[in-house]
């Protein structure tokens, strides 16, 4: 049976939960368009996160890989456009690593674009009544590291891949008043839409999703 | 039968809907703690909004009045602490009025504090998993106008009253990417909790809800 | 000789400096419109701050009192419109006090409006090329406490009084990237304009300065 | 004589001035480290902006090229790390073009990293008391277009190049209260430091400048 691999991250920066994993795990074993979803948790650690991801890819040979990550402060489902070949950690990862200006893949290209149909995905999520937009940067921490490594790994395969950032959970926003949040139900629905669209839409649609800066 | 009056506003500033009315109307005729909720829409107009509100109060003689209003850009349910005796309109209201630095009630006091148990309300909403906080200002537009006029009108009565601001709806956030939003289901649940607490909690609880500025 | 009293606060929340005092002290002994400016530092402590302020008022009998305070996160010079009769401390003050929902003056009114010509002041500051706006809330911490206590103390006198919030200094923004800031030169110039206008403009001008919420 | 080319943009999105050009022009003919600065204005137009820039490069054969652009809403001097090979215009440019998801250079790589010593530059600007940080995205509008095209053009040359975003001017912030701003004097000083460092620091320093997302 064909599989989709969806990943979420373990908690980081002292948090008790990470809503990216809480959402991803809801989709484990779900069938979407005849394809089985498998959810895996990634450590929030440079290097190791990619090892765990690559093992899962070897094991499952998925037709689609979507990494999900938390972007505290963002207001909507943000589908990343591009990953860049650099690690620059503002804070230490969960193993205490804090690389500064190190390439992820020594001889890799400067960046990889997501191979997901990002515009079709945000369009479908919006049609479901959930705010979504394109993000032009996945940062330079473990999320970008995983997205770049994932796209590098799959660069010669047909499997599509990309990363989707989600807002804080309501529970996190209660602890830090003023933080935008999104309910888990909306996040899970949005991820379902993303998987469904990525499995069926061959060529991305033409929809404005840029930023002036 | 005892009644609770809950109000929402009509759309303003060119919007097609106002989620404050969309939420309030969901509660119309709902029974909460043996009390019947009546929802009414207020025009987004200085003066007229208060006339419509006062007519409803005369007609219903409610034990509790909660005005609900949209606060585009806010991230959570924000329960207003205080209304001040000034109209200062950044934009024209729906009738084209744009008062600047005019008192709402000529001989009225500078401000009225909400008579809702605001801390108990935010505590209950948070326990339901919905972000909520105290707001120290309801602005100087029609929302503050209605809250001040309402509290002035009820100043010698036992009926409690106050104003609750809500975030943009997801639909509005889709049109303006980057805007925080909250689903209608969460807003309606939060308003239900607010009504229920205001009907039952006599003395407000001690819970930090301040702002350093 | 007539005097103007300008106050700044000592550092709080672990900061090493407070740009409100750094700016206020630059104006000490300055002559503005034939009136001598005296700068005093206030402790960031409920109660004591007002005692120090009232001693200075007794000693100097100023014709004008402007309290200056830091509002980290704000982008411009914000002239406060109103102070409310409540202490609600999100963090402890410098003496460890953290009052919650306590009135500042037990039998005082709910609020006092600034007696400064706030619109004329922001207009003059803007004409000098410096961003400025009206703020509808001074929070519920020591700044609001001082503003309320000051206006209460002077409620039967002719001396004008109010509070002006300023952004973080560039040095503070360097430590917390993403924080808006303003140079000390601009802040000092803005405070000079505020003093000058408050000494000369009898009746405030009509200028929109409201907030929709 | 060796030259540095610094560019600013013409106004866009209905603005009357563009502070990027107002700052850049202040540096025209300035000598920095024995090198002459030449300032040129670029049209805010896809394609044409790069033609004007390449003509200037042909004419001047500069040892260093720094493009300066406005990033309304940002709080500090932000030195861009990377430019990506995509045009995606949220608004039309000054010639009415609104490309969506078009590569800038058909066979170009996904991205180019700035060849400026970006960490040494932000360190020097901060030491001068001016807030500065690394930005992980230059957007997908004309700024990113120019930065990508510039780095592509110089990819086999020794001349260093990059793009620096600046905040709104105080005048712009006065028109849109709430917008962060920076004085022209600070912007010009920061650009001078950037030029000076780029001319003298061979190998960039190790300084954290990342983003978690």
Nearest-CA distance from D47 to chain C in Å? Answer: 32
Nearest to B88 among C101, C110, C210 (CB): C210
* Chains near D (3 or more Cβ pairs under 8 Å): A, C
Cross-chain Cβ contact B131/A170 below 8 Å:
yes
Interchain pair B208, C88: CB under 8 A: yes
pLDDT for the residue numbered D144: 98
Residue C116 CA to residue C123 CA, distance in Å, equals 13
> How far, in Å, CA of A22 to CA of A115, rounded?
25
SS (H, E, C) D28-92: CCCEECCEEEEEEEECCCCCHHHHHHHHHHHHHCCCEEEEEEECCCCCCEEEECEEECCEECCCC
**E-only strand ranges, C3-158:** 3-9, 31-32, 35-42, 64-70, 77-80, 82-84, 87-88, 100-102, 111-113, 132-135
Q: Single out the residue of A39, A45, A3, A47 nearest to residue A21, CA to CA.
A: A39
pLDDT of residue A144: 98
Which secondary-structure segment (H or E) carries A102?
strand A100-102
Which residues have C-beta within 8 Å of that of residue A38, sequence separation ≥ 6? A3, A4, A5, A6, A28, A29, A56, A60, A62
Residues 6 or more apart from A119 whose CB is under 8 A from it?
A: A134, A204, A205, A206, A207, A209, D101
Q: Which residue has the tokens 């003050």?
A: C93
Q: What is the CA radius of gyration of chain D?
A: 16
% pLDDT > 90, chain B: 99
Q: What residue ranges define each of the domains in chain D, with the CATH number in brackets?
A: 3-200 (3.40.630.20)
Inter-chain CB proximity C130 and D170 less than 8 Å: yes
Residues in a beta bridge with D39? D6
Q: Show which subunits contact B, needing at least 3 CB pairs below 8 angstroms.
A: A, C
Torsion angle, CA of B87/B89/B93/B98, rounded to 10 degrees? 90
How far apart, in whole angstroms, are the C-alpha atoms of residue A26 and residue B7?
Answer: 38
Marked catalytic residue, from D22, D44, D145, D165: D165
C139-148: average pLDDT:
98
Residue B104's pLDDT is what? Answer: 98
pLDDT tens track of chain A, all 213 residues? 899 999 999 999 889 999 999 999 999 999 999 999 999 999 999 999 999 999 999 999 999 999 999 999 999 999 999 999 999 999 999 999 999 999 999 999 999 999 999 999 999 999 999 999 999 999 999 999 999 999 999 999 999 999 999 999 999 999 999 999 999 999 999 999 999 999 999 999 999 999 999
Q: Nearest residue of D to residue C210 by CA position?
A: D177
Please give the Cα distance from D140 to D90 (Å, whole number).
Answer: 8
Of the pLDDT bands very low, low, confident and very high (cuts 50, 70, 90), residue C28 is very high
The dihedral region occupied by A203, where left means phi > 0, alpha psi between -120 and 50, and beta the remainder, is beta
Decide if C77 contacts C131 (C-beta within 8 A).
yes
Contacts of D180 in chain C (CB under 8 A): 75, 180
Two structure tokens written together for A147: 């997205």
The pLDDT of C130-147, averaged and rounded, is 98
The predicted-structure confidence for C42-87, as pLDDT tens digits, reads as follows 999 999 999 999 999 999 999 999 999 999 999 999 999 999 999 9
Residue B158: its pLDDT value, please?
94
**Chain A: nearest CA to B133, how far in angstroms?**
7
- Interchain contact, B213 vs C101, CB within 8 Å: no
The D-side interface with A (CB below 8 A) comprises: 13, 69-72, 74, 81-82, 84, 86-91, 98, 100-101, 109-113, 119, 134, 136-141, 143-144, 165, 204, 206-213
The answer to whether the CB of B36 falls within 8 A of the CB of B46 is no
What token pair was written down for D19? 């502070």
Low-confidence ranges of chain D (pLDDT < 70): none
Q: Which residues of C are catalytic?
A: 80, 143, 165
DSSP one-letter code for B11: P
C199, two tokens: 């000494």
What's the confidence (pLDDT) of residue C109? 98
The alpha carbon of residue B199 is apart from the nearest alpha carbon of chain C, in Å, by 21
Residue C166 structure tokens? 């300023």
Residues D24, D27, D29, D33, Cα dihedral to 10°: -130
Angle at the Cα of C187 (from C181 to C193), degrees rounded to 5?
Answer: 145
DSSP designation for D181? B
Residues 6+ apart with CB under 8 A from D157: none
Q: Is D189 left (phi over 0), alpha (psi -120 to 50) or beta?
A: alpha
In the block, residue with structure tokens 């800066």: A213
Give mean pLDDT, residues B119-124: 98
Closest in C72, C113, C213 to B143, CB measured: C213
D39 and D8 in contact (C-beta within 8 Å)? yes
Q: What is the CA B5 to chain-centroid distance, rounded?
A: 11
In DSSP terms, D41 is beta-bridged to D8
Classify D19 in phi/psi space as left (phi over 0), alpha (psi -120 to 50) or beta.
Answer: alpha
Q: Are B103 and B119 in contact (CB under 8 A)?
A: no
Residue A166's nearest CA partner among A75, A89, A103, A30 is A75
- What 3-state class would DSSP assign to C87? strand
For chain C, percent of residues with pLDDT exceeding 90: 99
Report the pLDDT value the prediction gives residue C61, as an integer from 0 to 100. 98
Percent of chain C with pLDDT over 70: 100
Cβ neighbours of residue B157 closer than 8 Å, sequence gap 6 or more:
none
Residue A33: Cβ within 10 Å count: 12
Q: Exposed/middle/buried for D35, CB within 10 Å: 0-12, 13-18, 19+?
A: middle
The answer to whether residues C64 and C195 touch, using CB atoms and an 8 Å cutoff, is yes
| pTM, full prediction | 0.97
Tell me, what's the pLDDT at C131?
98
pLDDT at C210: 97
Q: What is the pLDDT of residues D49-63, one digit of tens each?
A: 999 999 999 999 999
Please report, rounded to a whole number, the percentage of residues in chain A having pLDDT higher than 90. 99
CA distances to A80, A118, A194 from A121, in Å: 11, 5, 5
User: What is the rounded CA–CA span in Å between residue D90 and residue D93?
Assistant: 9
pLDDT at A47: 98
The pLDDT assigned to B200 comes to 97
Q: Give the model confidence (pLDDT) of D196-207 as tens digits.
A: 999 999 999 999
* pLDDT-based confidence at residue C134 (cuts at 50, 70, 90): very high
């Amino acid at each position: 049976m064909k599989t989709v691999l969806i990943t979420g991250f373990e908690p980081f920066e002292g948090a008790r939960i990470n809503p990216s994993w809480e959402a991803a795990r809801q989709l484990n074993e779900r069938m979407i368009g005849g394809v089985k979803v498998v959810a895996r948790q990634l450590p929030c650690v440079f290097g190791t996160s990619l090892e765990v991801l690559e093992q899962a890819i070897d094991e499952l040979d998925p037709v689609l890989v979507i990494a999900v990550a938390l972007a505290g402060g963002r207001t909507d489902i943000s589908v990343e456009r591009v990953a860049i070949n650099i690690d620059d950690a503002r804070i230490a990862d969960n193993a205490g690593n804090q690389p500064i200006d190190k390439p992820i893949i020594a001889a890799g290209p400067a960046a990889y674009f997501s191979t997901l149909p990002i515009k079709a995905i945000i369009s479908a999520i919006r049609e479901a009544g959930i705010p979504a937009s394109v993000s032009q940067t996945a940062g330079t921490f473990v999320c970008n590291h995983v997205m770049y490594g994932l796209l590098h790994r799959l660069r010669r395969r047909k499997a599509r891949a990309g990363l989707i950032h989600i807002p804080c959970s309501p529970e996190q926003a209660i602890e830090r008043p003023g933080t935008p949040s999104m309910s888990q139900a909306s996040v899970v629905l949005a991820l379902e839409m993303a998987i469904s669209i990525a499995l069926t839409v061959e060529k991305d649609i033409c929809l404005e999703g840029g930023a002036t800066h």
